C-alpha cells in the first residue's frame, strides 16, 4: 500500500518565513529554520542529468543537499516523492510581471513622421538626455511590485523566476531578476540589476524623432557614441543622467527586443558596430531566415505564440488572406526546432502569448514539430540562467542554489503530466494538489446517524468519478480536489432523494458530515481498502502527430518565393534584337552570351557549347531597367522627425520580403535606388539595390556603388499640406535655403575641429614641441549627421535632391557652389526645363516623371516635355517611378518622351537604363549591353518602348529571377498550396480549435508623399 503524504498537501501556507532584520515585527517573532526533505524522487538536476530515487534537502529557500546519498536530518519534514519528478523551475527572461506599463510623460503631437505638428524636444523634465525614447535611466528594480495574480499564472506553467523590465522606449534601462514567490519585493528580487534593455519601439515617447526604423537605429548608434564621449566630456555636456546610466549599464547582459527576423539582423549589426553581443528577443518567425539568424551568434529569447487558424470557410473571406499568413500559421510551431537544428542558442518565453496558460501546450507543439525535449528544457532553465549570468543561483538543482523547483507526475512535456507543486525560494505553491495521489481504488464508506450505522463499498475511478458497489452498482456524483471530498448518491435506483456527503481528505482517509434523503444529519468516514492498478504513463508518450507534410519555407517567405532559388548559368540569347545603348546602337539578329554573371560575348552565330540557349527570335534584349527613385523593399522610408537627418540610412532597414521586388522584375527592373522620403531638407542616406528576389537584406545591395543621400526642397519639407500647421523649421523656401547653408557650415566647422583634435602638440621643459596623433573623438563629439555631410564635401557621398520649382533648384545650387559641394542629381525636378542651362553648368543630372502634374501647387507648371527639353539642353536625364506600380512599366514612361518632345526610341530607353546608371555612378557595371558588364538583362516580347512589350525574362547577375513561363507554373502551385492550407484550417475549425476571424493581408506602400492615386483595396499608403 502506498503511503499517503496528505499532511503536507493540506493547505498552502508560507512555510518558510525569512525575516528581514531591518523590518520591525508587529507581534511575536516567528523565525523558522525548517528543513524539507524531498525523498524518493526522480530528480532532473539539469537537462543532462537525471537521478533516480534521489533526495533533496531545502532550507531557508536554498537547496542544501541533493543526491542519492543524502542524509535526512531527524527534524526534516519529509515529502515522499515516490513516482514524482522534480525539475528546476523555469526561467522566463521576457515575462510580463511586476512592472506596470509606462504612461506617456505628457501630451505630444509629434509621434507620426507624417505631416503632424512636431514635438522637437523631449518633454521629460529633469537632467536627462535629449531624446525621450532613450530611457536608459529607468531601473526596473525601483518599479517592481509583486503581483500575485500574474505570479500564480506563471507558476502554474512551471516558472519560478523571471527577468522583468519596463517595456517602454528604444533604450529601456535595466531589468531586474525576480522570483515568483509571494514575498516582500525585497526578498523576491534575486538580482537587482540584471540586464539592460533596448527595442525598436518608441513606446510612450511623444517626441517627433525618431519616426522610423532607420531613425531608431541611427539614434541608438549616436547614443553609443555620445555615451562614450560623455565619459570624458561631462564638463561640456553638464550632467546627463541618461548617458550616465547608459554607461553604467554597459557591463550587463544587453537584451534587444527585435520581434522580427530582419530586426534580429538589424539589432545585431548595431551590436557589432559597438562591440556588443545582444541577446535578442524575437517574435517566432526566425525559421524564415534561419541561416542569417545563426550568423548573428546571438542567444535568442523566443516566444511560442503561434498564430491561430483563421476562419476561412467563407471563400469571400479566404480570398484576401495571403498564402504567407496561412503558411506562417502552419510553420510557426516548427520555429524552435529550426533554431535548434541551426545550432542557435535560445530561451523560451511566455511573452506575446494570448494567455500564459497555453505556454506548455505550445512548447509541446514545438516538440511535436521536432524540438528535442532536452533542448526545450535547456531553453527553460539553464540557457536563460547562463544567458543573464545567474546560473550560480538558478537554472539547475544543485547545492547552494535557490530552491526553485517543480514537482510533476512525470515528464513535464508529456500532455498527461501535471505540475503538482511549484516551489519558489523554498515556498510551496500547490498547483494540482488533487493529482498528488492517484486516489483511484476501493474505499469503505461508514455512515453513522441516529438511524444506525451503514457501511458500503465505494469504487473510485478518478477524482471525478466513483460508484457504490453493492447488489446494484450505483453511480455517484463524486469530486475530490485533494482536500474536499463530496459524494452524493441515491441509496437505490428507485429513490429520488439521496445522501449528500461532504468531508475532508487527510492522511488516513476521509471524514465528514452529511445528510440523507430525509434530511437526517450524519457523519461519515472513508477508508482506502485497495489501490487500483496504476496505469503506467510512458516516459515519452508525446506523439508526433501526423498531419500530412508541411509546406516548405520559401525565400522570401511570400507568394512567389523560391523553394529552389534560380542559379547562375551560362546563357545564350539567340537571334535577338539587341538594344546595346552603346555606339553600335540596336543590333538585329544578334546573340548575347552570358557567363559567370557577366556579358561575355555579343555577336552573330556564337557557339552554343555548354550554354542554356534561349531562342530570342522576334524578341528584344535590353539592359535591365534602373529606377533612380524608388521606395520599395524598405521597412521605413521617411525619418521626418527633424529637418536634417543625414545620419539615417535606408541600408539599415532593407526589406527583402517586399512583393514589389518580384512585381518590378516582371516589368524588367533590375536595379532600384531606394531613397529616403521627402519629409525633410536633408534626408537620409540612400541604398542602391539589385532586385535579387530571395536574397537577404545585405545581399540586395549593389556592391561597390557610391553612397548617395536624399535631399528635398519645397512643399514637403515645409510641410505645406499639414492639417495641423507646421512648427518645424523651415516653413518657407527661404528657410530651406538656410537649413542647407547652416548644415554645411556646421559640417565644415566640424571637419576642422576633428582635424585640429587629431594631433596633440606638447612642449617640453626645453621648449621642444612634439606632435603626436590623437583620437579626435575623445574631445570632439562624433556626429553621424555631420559625418555624412563631410562625406559630401569630400565627394565621397552624392546628393539626389527632390525638387520642383525653379527658384528652389537655383538656390540650392548656389548654396552648393558657395560651400563647395555639388548636387549630383535633381530628382522629380518637374520645372527642370526652366533652369536646364543652370543645371548643366552646375553639373547636375536630372531624374524626372514622364507626365505627372497638377496634383499640388508646386507642380502646376510641370509639363510632359520636361525630359525632352532637358535632354536637348544636354543634361543626363532619367525617368523615375517613385511608385511601386509605375515602376513595373517604367519602359512605357520612358517611351512617352517619344510622344512628348520627339526623342528617339533609343534615347528614350536610355532614360531608364544607361542614363540612371550614369547618374548613380554605376555605368561601368550596368546600363548597357557591353562585354564585361553585369548580365542585368531583359528579354522583351516586343520593342521595349512599345506599350505592347512584356518582359519574358528578367536577369540579374546572369540569374533569371523572373520568367513568365515559370511564373505561370508558380501560380498554379500557389493555388494548390492555398487550397491545401484552407482545407487544413477548415479541419481545425471542425475539430473545435481556436479560430481567429479571417483578416485580410494588407500591404503598406511607403512613399514620399507624392501620391494621389490608389494602389488597390488592400494597401495602406503611408507617408512614413
1012 touching another protein, by CB under 8 A: yes
In the list 663, 828, 842, 953, the residue contacting another protein (rule: CB under 8 A) is 663
822 binds another protein (CB under 8 A): no
Which residue has 562585354 as its cell numbers? 931
Rounded Cα–Cα distance for residues 304 and 528 (Å): 43
- Candidates 852, 955, 981, 988; binder of another protein (CB under 8 A) is 852
Task: Considering only the stretches 21-29, 389-397, 410-418, 845-853, report the one whose residues sit in contact with another protein under the rule CB under 8 A.
Answer: 845-853
Between 41 and 258, CB nearer to another protein: 258
On whether the CB atoms of residues 467 and 443 are closer than 8 A, the answer is: no
Q: Can you tell me the distance from the alpha carbon of 94 to that of 154, in angstroms, rounded to the nearest whole number?
A: 12
Quick one: which of 414, 545, 540, 348 has its CA closest to 988? Answer: 545
How many residues sit in the footprint of another protein (CB under 8 A)? Answer: 85
245 phi, psi to nearest 5 deg = -65, -40
Q: Looking at 147-155, 294-302, 793-801, 997-1005, which segment touches another protein (CB under 8 A)?
A: 997-1005
What is the DSSP secondary structure assignment for residue 774, as one 8-state letter? -
Q: Is 974 in the site for another protein (CB under 8 A)?
A: yes
For 465-469, the CB contacts below 8 A with 24+ separation are: 469/442
Task: Give the binding range for another protein (CB under 8 A) out of 72-80, 97-105, 698-706, 859-867.
Answer: 859-867
Name residues whose C-beta falls within 8 Å of residue 236's C-beta, 6 or more positions apart in sequence.
Answer: none
For the CB of residue 294, give the shortest distance to another protein in the complex, in Å.
27
C-alpha span between 719 and 721 (Å, rounded) = 6
> Shortest Cβ distance from residue 899 to another protein (Å)?
5
Report, in Å, the least distance between residue 690 CB and another protein.
18
**Cβ-contact 132, 206 below 8 angstroms:** yes
Q: How far apart are CA 822 and CA 801, in angstroms?
A: 11
Please calculate the CA angle 214-203-697 and round it to the nearest 5 degrees: 25
Residues 6+ apart with CB under 8 A from 1023: 113, 114, 115, 638, 677, 679, 1007, 1008, 1009, 1011
Q: Judged by CB under 8 A, which stretch of 44-52, 471-479, 483-491, 1010-1018 contacts another protein?
A: 1010-1018
Looking at beta carbons only, is 36 or 560 nearer to another protein?
A: 560
Residue 811 near residue 737, CB atoms below 8 Å: yes
CA 844 to CA 838: how far, in whole Å? 9
Binding to another protein in span 103-122, by CB under 8 A: 111-112
Q: How far apart are CA 21 and CA 24, in angstroms?
A: 8
Per-position b or e across 334-358, b if 16+ CB within 10 A of its CB: bbbbbbbbeebbbbbbbbbbeebeb
Give 827 or 1022: the residue with its C-beta nearer to another protein: 1022
CB of 829 to another protein, least distance (A): 14
Distance CA 40, CA 56 (A): 9
- Give me the least distance between CB of 938 and another protein, in Å please: 14
Separation CA 774–CA 769 (nearest Å): 15
Nearest CA among 193, 221, 110 for reference residue 782: 221
User: Quick one: which of 647, 683, 807 has its CA closest to 222?
Assistant: 647
Instruction: Among 92, 591, 628, 1010, indicate the residue that binds another protein (CB under 8 A).
Output: 1010
Q: How far is the CB of 659 from another protein (least distance, A)?
A: 4
- Residues between 709 and 768 with contacts to another protein, criterion CB under 8 A: 715, 720-721
Cβ at position 988, least distance to another protein in Å = 20
Of positions 559, 624, 714, 958, contacts another protein by CB under 8 A: 559
- Residue among 449, 467, 568, 1001 that touches another protein (CB under 8 A): 1001
In the range 882-901, which residues lie near another protein by CB under 8 A? 884-886, 888-889, 892, 895-896, 898-899, 901
Q: Cβ of residue 723: shortest distance to another protein, in angstroms?
A: 10
Cβ nearer to another protein, comparing 376 with 945: 945
Query: Minimum CB separation from another protein for residue 119, in Å?
Result: 15
Which region among 178-186, 538-546, 670-678, 879-887 touches another protein (by CB under 8 A)?
879-887
* Residues 180-219, interacting with another protein (CB under 8 A): 201
* Contact yes or no for 370/335 (Cβ under 8 A): no
In the complex, minimum distance from the CB of residue 894 to another protein, in angstroms, rounded to a whole number: 9
542, with CB counted inside 10 A (0-12, 13-18, 19+), is middle
- x/- mask, another protein, residues 307-346, rule CB under 8 A, reads ---------x--xx-xxx----------------------
Q: Contacting another protein (CB under 8 A), which of 5, 531, 565, 863?
A: 863
Q: Does 803 bind another protein (CB under 8 A)?
A: no
Q: Is there binding between residue 854 and another protein (CB under 8 A)?
A: yes
Q: How far apart are CA 833 and CA 806, in angstroms?
A: 9
Stretch that binds another protein, among 121-129, 405-413, 521-529, 848-856 (CB under 8 A): 848-856
Residues 902-941 that bind another protein (CB under 8 A): 902, 905
Footprint of another protein on 665-704 (CB under 8 A): 666
Amino acid at each position: 500500500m502506498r503511503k499517503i503524504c496528505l499532511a503536507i498537501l493540506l493547505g498552502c501556507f508560507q512555510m518558510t518565513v525569512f525575516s528581514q532584520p531591518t523590518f520591525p515585527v508587529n507581534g511575536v517573532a516567528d523565525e523558522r529554520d525548517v528543513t524539507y526533505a524531498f525523498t524518493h524522487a526522480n530528480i532532473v538536476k539539469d537537462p543532462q542529468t537525471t537521478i533516480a530515487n534521489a533526495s533533496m534537502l531545502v532550507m531557508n529557500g536554498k537547496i542544501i543537499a541533493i543526491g542519492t546519498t543524502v542524509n535526512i536530518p531527524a527534524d526534516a519534514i519529509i515529502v515522499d516523492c515516490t513516482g514524482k519528478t522534480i525539475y528546476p523551475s523555469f526561467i522566463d527572461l521576457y515575462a510580463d510581471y511586476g512592472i506596470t506599463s509606462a504612461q506617456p510623460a505628457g501630451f505630444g503631437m509629434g509621434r507620426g513622421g507624417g505631416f503632424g505638428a512636431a514635438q522637437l524636444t523631449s518633454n521629460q523634465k529633469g537632467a536627462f538626455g535629449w531624446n525621450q525614447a532613450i530611457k536608459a535611466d529607468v531601473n526596473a528594480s525601483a518599479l517592481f511590485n509583486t503581483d500575485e495574480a500574474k505570479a500564480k499564472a506563471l507558476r502554474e506553467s512551471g516558472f519560478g523566476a523571471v527577468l522583468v523590465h519596463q517595456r517602454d522606449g528604444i533604450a529601456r534601462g535595466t531589468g531586474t531578476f525576480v522570483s515568483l514567490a509571494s514575498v516582500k519585493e525585497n526578498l523576491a528580487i534575486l538580482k537587482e540589476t540584471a540586464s539592460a534593455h533596448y527595442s525598436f519601439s518608441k513606446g510612450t515617447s511623444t517626441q517627433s524623432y525618431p519616426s522610423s526604423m532607420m531613425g531608431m537605429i541611427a539614434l541608438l548608434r549616436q547614443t553609443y557614441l555620445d555615451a562614450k564621449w560623455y565619459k570624458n566630456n561631462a564638463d561640456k555636456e553638464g550632467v546627463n543622467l541618461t548617458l550616465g546610466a547608459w554607461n553604467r549599464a554597459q557591463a550587463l547582459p544587453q537584451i534587444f527586443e527585435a520581434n522580427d527576423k530582419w530586426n534580429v539582423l538589424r539589432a545585431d549589426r548595431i551590436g557589432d558596430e559597438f562591440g556588443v553581443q545582444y541577446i535578442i528577443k524575437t517574435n517566432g518567425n526566425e525559421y524564415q531566415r534561419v541561416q542569417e539568424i545563426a550568423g548573428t551568434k546571438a542567444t535568442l529569447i523566443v516566444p511560442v505564440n503561434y498564430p491561430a487558424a483563421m476562419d476561412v470557410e467563407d471563400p469571400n473571406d479566404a480570398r484576401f488572406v495571403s498564402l504567407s499568413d496561412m503558411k506562417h500559421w502552419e510553420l510557426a510551431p516548427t520555429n524552435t526546432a529550426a533554431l535548434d537544428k541551426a545550432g542557435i542558442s535560445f530561451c523560451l518565453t511566455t511573452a506575446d502569448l494570448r494567455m500564459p496558460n497555453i505556454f506548455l501546450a505550445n512548447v509541446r507543439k514545438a516538440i511535436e514539430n521536432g524540438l528535442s525535449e532536452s533542448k526545450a528544457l535547456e531553453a527553460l532553465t539553464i540557457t536563460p540562467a547562463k544567458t543573464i549570468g545567474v546560473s550560480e543561483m538558478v537554472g539547475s538543482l544543485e547545492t547552494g542554489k535557490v530552491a526553485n523547483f517543480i514537482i510533476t507526475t512525470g515528464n513535464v512535456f508529456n500532455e498527461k503530466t501535471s505540475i503538482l507543486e511549484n516551489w519558489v525560494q523554498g515556498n510551496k505553491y500547490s498547483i494540482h494538489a488533487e493529482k498528488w495521489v492517484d486516489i483511484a481504488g476501493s474505499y469503505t464508506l461508514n455512515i453513522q446517524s441516529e438511524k444506525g450505522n451503514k457501511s458500503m463499498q465505494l469504487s473510485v475511478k478518478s477524482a471525478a468519478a466513483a460508484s457504490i458497489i453493492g447488489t446494484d452498482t450505483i453511480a455517484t456524483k463524486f469530486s475530490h480536489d485533494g482536500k474536499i471530498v463530496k459524494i452524493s448518491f441515491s441509496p437505490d435506483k428507485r429513490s429520488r432523494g439521496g445522501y449528500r456527503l461532504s468531508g475532508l481528505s487527510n492522511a488516513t482517509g476521509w471524514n465528514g458530515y452529511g445528510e440523507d434523503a430525509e434530511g437526517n444529519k450524519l457523519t461519515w468516514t472513508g477508508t482506502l481498502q485497495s489501490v487500483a492498478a496504476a496505469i503506467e504513463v510512458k516516459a515519452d508518450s508525446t506523439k508526433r502527430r501526423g498531419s500530412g507534410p508541411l509546406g516548405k519555407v520559401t525565400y522570401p517567405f511570400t507568394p512567389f518565393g523560391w523553394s529552389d532559388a534560380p542559379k547562375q548559368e551560362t546563357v545564350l540569347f539567340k537571334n535577338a534584337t539587341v538594344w546595346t545603348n552603346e555606339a553600335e546602337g540596336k543590333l538585329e539578329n544578334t546573340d548575347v552570351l552570358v557567363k559567370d554573371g557577366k556579358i561575355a560575348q555579343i555577336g552573330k552565330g556564337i557557339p552554343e557549347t555548354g550554354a542554356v540557349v534561349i531562342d530570342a527570335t522576334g524578341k528584344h534584349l535590353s539592359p535591365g531597367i534602373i529606377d533612380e527613385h524608388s521606395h520599395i523593399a524598405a521597412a521605413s522610408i521617411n525619418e521626418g522627425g527633424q529637418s536634417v537627418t543625414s545620419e539615417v540610412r535606408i541600408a539599415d532597414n532593407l526589406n527583402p520580403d517586399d512583393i514589389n521586388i518580384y512585381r518590378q522584375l516582371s516589368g524588367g527592373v533590375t536595379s532600384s535606388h531606394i531613397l529616403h522620403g521627402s519629409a525633410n531638407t536633408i534626408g537620409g542616406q540612400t541604398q542602391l539595390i539589385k532586385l535579387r528576389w530571395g536574397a537577404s537584406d545585405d545581399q540586395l545591395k549593389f556592391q561597390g556603388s557610391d553612397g548617395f543621400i536624399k535631399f528635398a526642397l519645397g512643399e514637403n519639407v515645409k510641410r505645406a499640406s499639414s492639417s495641423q500647421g507646421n512648427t518645424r523649421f523651415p516653413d518657407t523656401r527661404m528657410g530651406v535655403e538656410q537649413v542647407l547653408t547652416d548644415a554645411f557650415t556646421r559640417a565644415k566647422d566640424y571637419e576642422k575641429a576633428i582635424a585640429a583634435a587629431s594631433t596633440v602638440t606638447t612642449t617640453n621643459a626645453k621648449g621642444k614641441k612634439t606632435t603626436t596623433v590623437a583620437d579626435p573623438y575623445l574631445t570632439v563629439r562624433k556626429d553621424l549627421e555631420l559625418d555624412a555631410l563631410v562625406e559630401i564635401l569630400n565627394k565621397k557621398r552624392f546628393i539626389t535632391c527632390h525638387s520642383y520649382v525653379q527658384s528652389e533648384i537655383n538656390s540650392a545650387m548656389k548654396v552648393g557652389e558657395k560651400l563647395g559641394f555639388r548636387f549630383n542629381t535633381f530628382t522629380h525636378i518637374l520645372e527642370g526645363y526652366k533652369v536646364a542651362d543652370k543645371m548643366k553648368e552646375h553639373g547636375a543630372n536630372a531624374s524626372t516623371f514622364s507626365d505627372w502634374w497638377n496634383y499640388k501647387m508646386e507642380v502646376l507648371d510641370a509639363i510632359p516635355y520636361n525630359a525632352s527639353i532637358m535632354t536637348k539642353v544636354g543634361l543626363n536625364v532619367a525617368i523615375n517611378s517613385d511608385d511601386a506600380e509605375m515602376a513595373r512599366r517604367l519602359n512605357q514612361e520612358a517611351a512617352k518622351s517619344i510622344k512628348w518632345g520627339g526623342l528617339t526610341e533609343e534615347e528614350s530607353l536610355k532614360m531608364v537604363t544607361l542614363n540612371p546608371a550614369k547618374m548613380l555612378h554605376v555605368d561601368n557595371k550596368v546600363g548597357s549591353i557591353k562585354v564585361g558588364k553585369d548580365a542585368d538583362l531583359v528579354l522583351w516580347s516586343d520593342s521595349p518602348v512599345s506599350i505592347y512589350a512584356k518582359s519574358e525574362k528578367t536577369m540579374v547577375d546572369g540569374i533569371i529571377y523572373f520568367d513568365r513561363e515559370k511564373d505561370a507554373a508558380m501560380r498554379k502551385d500557389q493555388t494548390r498550396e492555398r487550397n491545401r492550407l484552407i482545407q487544413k484550417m477548415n479541419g481545425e475549425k471542425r475539430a473545435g480549435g481556436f479560430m481567429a476571424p479571417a483578416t485580410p493581408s494588407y500591404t503598406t506602400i511607403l512613399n514620399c508623399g507624392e501620391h494621389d492615386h490608389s494602389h488597390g483595396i488592400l494597401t495602406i499608403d503611408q507617408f512614413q
